[in-house]
């Protein structure tokens, strides 16, 4: 038998090593969600940008209509809107806050 075939046959007859134990789950390594930002409007408000942001936030709410149907859906959508508006200019934040206020009032 040629040496390559013999080596393959020897390797096939060897017992397989035991698998390494799985790493234990630790709560310290779990991903923690970022805190929900507090939205504060700074600077002058550009009304056009505010209207655009209001339209954008409304489109987001309409796209998340299935989430709204859940038991805590309004809270999830409001959280999503707050995270989206966090790093935007003051005019955009004002538009998002308008939609968030309407959602929290139940309209």
Q: What is the pLDDT along the chain (107 residues), one digit of tens a residue?
A: 788 988 888 888 888 877 777 766 666 666 777 788 888 888 889 999 999 999 999 999 999 989 888 888 999 999 999 999 988 999 999 999 999 999 998 86
* The dihedral formed by the CA atoms of 38, 44, 48 and 52, expressed in degrees to the nearest 10: -10
Element counts in the chain: helices (H) and strands (E): 5, 0
Q: Are 51 and 95 in contact (CB under 8 A)?
A: yes
For 50-63, what is each residue's pLDDT tens digit? 999 999 999 999 99
Query: Rounded to whole angstroms, how far apart are CA atoms 43 and 55?
Result: 21
Which positions ≥6 away from 95 have C-beta within 8 Å? 49, 50, 51, 52, 53, 54, 55, 56, 57
Identify the pLDDT of residue 10: 87
pTM of the predicted protein model: 0.67
């Amino acid at each position: 038998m040629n040496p390559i075939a013999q080596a393959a046959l020897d390797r096939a007859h060897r017992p397989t090593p035991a698998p390494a134990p799985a790493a234990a789950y630790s709560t310290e390594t779990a991903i923690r969600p970022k805190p929900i930002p507090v939205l504060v409007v700074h600077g002058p408000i550009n009304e056009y940008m505010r209207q655009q942001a209001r339209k954008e936030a409304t489109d987001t709410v309409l796209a998340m209509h299935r989430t709204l149907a859940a038991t805590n859906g309004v809270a999830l959508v409001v959280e999503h809107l707050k995270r989206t508006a966090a790093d935007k200019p003051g005019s955009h934040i004002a538009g998002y806050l308008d939609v968030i206020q309407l959602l929290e009032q139940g309209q």
